[in-house]
């Protein structure tokens, strides 16, 4: 499968937003400030594969996901779908037949006045699928079965469902069009631990049984580890390290990946982390460091890091990191 | 481990908190008892709606306008019974003896007051400081919580601070009057993981340096494992298991604690399929009979539907509320 054209190729993708000006700035003719939410990000995704995208707030992971479903028009770079530019698929509706999105908050991403059945029926109608009433009913029942909801709940409105059930509805709606890729943006972070595990397992089943690929965006590394074959770590709009899941956790190479892994509180009191915390905070995204985005907090920083952005280096067949070679060679912390 | 004596600083016995609205009354906390020792970090952990936040708010009766009624056999804090205090008496305890840090550092600060002013307000009110001593004390506090160049930051507005910096300021305000107990209600949930790490280490440093006792309320078992000396696990308004953190993680005896730990995705070891707990936490307005966990418990038997389990010792200092414990002990 890997020798074929990948399902999705993202090449040097960048996305900028213009900030609104204050009255004073407007009057004095100050140019609009630009926020570089995603800077020069590249990766590939094979059919039926899950790529985890992790990073802290403001790292650009959600913006990246929104570019892929056509919600944002990227400022630069290329998104290839089966080897051809994504925009050749057509408008947003045409893209949404192939790529679907699931959001974090299952409370606001469902129409509160539509029953479960109406929600799913509308998606089918909009895309001209399952056109007769009988077909529609069968398809809806099948979708509910896939996501583990009882068909007898069909007439209920969203408020009658719990958070976990609502996220199941969102998943059923995404699956309704038979997509090849689902972009899931923090889909389990609003859920309690006991329910979170149910939804993670559901994503796994869908990938295995239906062959859907996932771009799984999350801030929780342990969740991402369980669900992804490969992981991309982002920081302030840049992709810092991309690797197979086991390689990333067993031998993280980028200093930010190592710091991130070291900062997660592990649920094991025998493994108390007394290591040094990563100091400082995220730089102002309107005024990012000139060189490497992580240079203001990196424990290994040298002058060269502050002046130019290091290129993405290939460390193995599927392992890349954006850092200087001698720093990447420091194993452990 | 720490310089903790066995003497209890706070002893909560049989706490019950009910919330009322036009339609119904809900018992969010139902017969909760625990104690926090001097210099100890005590964790209260559970999923949303389990009553952990209601428990800690009940201690100081901070409900922000909700109609809540608190009753308890006693809430003994250093010889005083907080349960019997009037609102006025209690307000002398708040901030001075016991203070609180909340989850959301974005809304807990006054947006129209400069950072230095907000910290000074607490110092002025409780210690009666003014002038240069007040300014010095404010700067010293900001420095203690790790705010860099505190002199310049005094005149900053809350919106100029990031989430992590605001949480530091809130901790500074909470510590302004040298309280003996700090209640931290999900203090790092809204923060990024590298900033969470900084704030948790700050709290542990404060405990070490000034002998602060902390009630750490969290949903995150990782935070508990990394910071707490002892922990109580709550489910549907009750404590189902409590004990020494190490003991509880190594040898969880209540089926809910066991299931919760097994449901967690891990950062190391083999990546096997997760074992979720079936169903969802119960609605407090419509609780199951008998053991409140029996509807989701993989080990439930007929007896669990009718018998209400009580907390019992399973080992010294380790309590668990499961009626099947005795069978397993044999």
Give the start-to-end residue ranges of the domains of chain A: 6-18+34-112+178-328
pLDDT confidence of residue B5: 47
pLDDT confidence of residue A33: 82
pLDDT 10s digit of each residue in chain A, 333 long?
Answer: 445 789 999 999 999 998 878 888 888 888 888 888 999 999 999 999 999 999 988 899 999 999 999 899 999 999 999 999 998 998 889 999 999 999 988 788 899 999 999 999 999 999 999 889 999 999 999 999 999 999 999 999 999 998 899 999 999 999 999 999 999 999 999 898 889 999 999 999 999 999 999 999 999 999 999 999 999 999 999 999 999 999 999 999 999 999 999 999 999 998 887 777 888 888 888 888 999 999 999 999 999 999 999 999 999 999 999 999 888 887 644
3-state secondary structure at position B181: strand
Q: Does B231 touch chain A (CB under 8 A)?
A: no
pLDDT confidence of residue A4: 74
Contact B222 A265 (CB under 8 A): yes
Q: Which residue has the higher pLDDT, B185 or B104?
A: B185
Q: Which residue has the higher pLDDT, A183 or B6?
A: A183
Chain B contact set for A191 (CB, 8 A): none
> Is a pLDDT exceeding 60 seen at residue B284?
yes
Contact A267 B271 (CB under 8 A): no
Contact B245 A198 (CB under 8 A): no
Contact A269 B221 (CB under 8 A): no
How many angstroms separate the CA of residue A131 from the nearest CA in chain B?
A: 34
Of A220, A223, A268, which is closest to B225 when you measure between CB atoms? A268
Q: Does B274 touch chain A (CB under 8 A)?
A: yes
Q: Does B260 touch chain A (CB under 8 A)?
A: yes
Of B201, B263, B271, which is closest to A197 when you measure between CB atoms? B263
Of B226, B274, B280, which is closest to A197 when you measure between CB atoms? B274
Provide the CA B274 distance to its chain's centre, in angstroms: 27
> Is a pLDDT exceeding 70 seen at residue B160?
yes
> Is a pLDDT exceeding 80 seen at residue B282?
yes
* Torsion region of A54: left, alpha or beta (phi above 0 gives left; psi -120 to 50 gives alpha): beta
Indicate the DSSP class of residue A91.
S
Output the pTM of the full model.
0.90
Q: Which residue of A has its CA nearest to B163?
A: A281
Structural contact between residues B181 and B213, judged by C-beta atoms closer than 8 angstroms = yes
Contact B249 A265 (CB under 8 A): no
CATH architecture for segment(s) A6-18+34-112+178-328: 3-Layer(aba) Sandwich (3.40)
- pLDDT bracket for residue B4 (50, 70, 90): very low
pLDDT tens-place string over residues B195-223: 899 999 999 998 999 899 999 999 999 99
- pLDDT bracket for residue B269 (50, 70, 90): confident
Of B198, B249, B273, which is closest to A268 when you measure between CB atoms? B249
Q: How far apart are CA B16 and CA A6, in angstroms?
A: 59
Q: Does B298 touch chain A (CB under 8 A)?
A: no
pLDDT confidence of residue A276: 76
Q: Which residue of A has its CA nearest to B274?
A: A197
Q: How far apart are CA A258 and CA A164, in angstroms?
A: 32
Q: What is the ipTM of this complex?
A: 0.87
Reading the block at residue B187, the tokens are: 């203090």
Reading the block at residue A162, the tokens are: 């719990």
Contact A267 B246 (CB under 8 A): no
Strand order across the B98-101 sheet = B98-101, B181-185, B213-218, B41-45, B230-235, B238-244, B318-320, B312-315
3-state secondary structure at position A215: strand
Q: How far apart are CA B172 and CA B168, in angstroms?
A: 6
| Closest to A80 (Cα-Cα) out of A179, A181, A10, A12 | A10
> Is a pLDDT exceeding 90 seen at residue B280?
no
pLDDT, averaged across chain B: 91
How many angstroms separate the CA of residue A250 from the nearest CA in chain B?
A: 8
Separation in Å, CA B151 to CA B145, B147, B199: 14, 10, 21
How many angstroms separate the CA of residue A219 from the nearest CA in chain B?
A: 8
pLDDT confidence of residue A62: 92
Separation in Å, CA B223 to CA A84, B229, B266: 46, 11, 14
- pLDDT bracket for residue B2 (50, 70, 90): very low
């Amino acid at each position: 499968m890997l020798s074929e054209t990948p399902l999705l190729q993202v090449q040097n993708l960048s996305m900028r937003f213009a900030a609104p000006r204050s009255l004073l700035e407007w009057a004095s003719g100050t140019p609009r400030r630009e926020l570089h939410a995603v800077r020069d990000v590249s990766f590939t995704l094979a059919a039926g594969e899950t790529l985890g995208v992790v990073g802290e707030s403001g790292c650009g992971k959600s913006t990246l996901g929104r570019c892929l479903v056509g919600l944002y028009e990227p400022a630069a770079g290329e998104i290839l779908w089966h080897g051809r530019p994504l925009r050749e698929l057509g408008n947003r509706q045409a893209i949404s037949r192939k790529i679907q999105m699931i959001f974090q908050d299952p409370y606001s991403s469902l129409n509160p006045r539509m029953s479960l059945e109406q929600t799913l029926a509308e998606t089918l109608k909009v895309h001209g699928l399952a056109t007769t009433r009988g077909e529609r009913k069968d398809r809806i029942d099948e979708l509910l079965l896939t996501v583990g909801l009882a068909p007898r709940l069909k007439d209920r409105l969203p408020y009658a469902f719990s958070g976990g059930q609502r996220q199941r509805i969102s998943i059923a709606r995404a699956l309704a069009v038979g997509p090849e890729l689902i972009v899931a943006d923090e889909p389990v972070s609003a859920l309690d631990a006991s329910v979170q595990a149910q939804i993670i397992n559901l994503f796994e089943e869908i990938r295995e049984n239906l062959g859907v690929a996932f771009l799984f965006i999350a801030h929780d590394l342990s969740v991402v580890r369980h669900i992804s074959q490969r992981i991309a770590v982002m920081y302030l709009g840049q992709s810092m390290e991309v690797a197979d899941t086991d390689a990333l956790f067993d031998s993280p190479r980028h200093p930010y990946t190592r710091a991130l892994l070291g900062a997660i509180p592990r649920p094991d009191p025998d493994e108390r982390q007394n290591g040094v915390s990563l100091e400082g905070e995220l730089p102002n995204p309107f005024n990012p460091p000139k060189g490497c985005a992580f240079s203001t907090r990196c424990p290994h920083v040298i002058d060269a890091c502050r002046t130019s952005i290091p290129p993405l280096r290939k460390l193995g067949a599927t392992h890349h990191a954006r850092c200087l070679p001698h720093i990447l060679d420091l194993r452990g912390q | 481990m720490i310089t903790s004596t066995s003497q209890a600083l706070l002893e909560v016995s049989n706490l019950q908190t009910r919330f009322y609205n036009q339609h119904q009354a809900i018992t969010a906390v139902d017969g909760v008892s625990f104690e926090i020792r001097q210099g100890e970090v005590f964790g209260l952990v559970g999923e949303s709606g389990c009553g952990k936040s209601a428990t800690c708010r009940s201690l100081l009766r901070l409900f922000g306008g909700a109609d809540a009624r608190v009753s308890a056999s006693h809430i003994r804090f250093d010889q005083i019974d907080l349960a019997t205090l009037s609102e006025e008496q209690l307000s002398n305890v708040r901030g001075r003896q016991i203070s609180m840090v909340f989850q959301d550092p974005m809304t807990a600060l006054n947006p129209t007051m400069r950072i230095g002013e907000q910290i000074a307000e607490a110092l002025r009110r409780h210690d009666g400081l003014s002038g240069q001593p007040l300014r010095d004390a404010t700067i010293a506090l900001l420095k203690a919580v790790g705010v860099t160049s505190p002199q310049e930051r005094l005149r900053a507005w809350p919106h100029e601070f990031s989430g992590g910096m605001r949480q530091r300021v809130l901790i500074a305000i909470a510590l302004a009057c040298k309280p003996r107990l700090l209640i931290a209600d999900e203090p790092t949930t809204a923060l990024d993981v590298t900033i969470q790490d900084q704030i948790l280490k700050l709290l542990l440093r404060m405990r070490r340096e000034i002998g602060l006792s902390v009630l750490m309320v969290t949903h995150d078992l990782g935070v508990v494992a990394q910071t707490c000396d002892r922990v109580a696990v709550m489910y549907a308004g009750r404590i189902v298991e409590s004990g020494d953190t190490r003991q509880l993680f190594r040898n969880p005896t209540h089926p809910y604690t066991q299931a919760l730990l097994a449901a967690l995705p891990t950062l190391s070891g083999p990546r096997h399929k997760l074992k979720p707990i079936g169903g969802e936490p119960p609605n407090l307005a419509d609780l199951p009979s008998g053991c409140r966990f029996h509807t989701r418990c993989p080990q439930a038997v007929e007896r669990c539907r009718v018998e209400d389990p009580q907390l019992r010792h399973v080992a010294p200092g380790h309590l668990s509320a499961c009626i099947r414990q005795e069978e397993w002990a044999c």
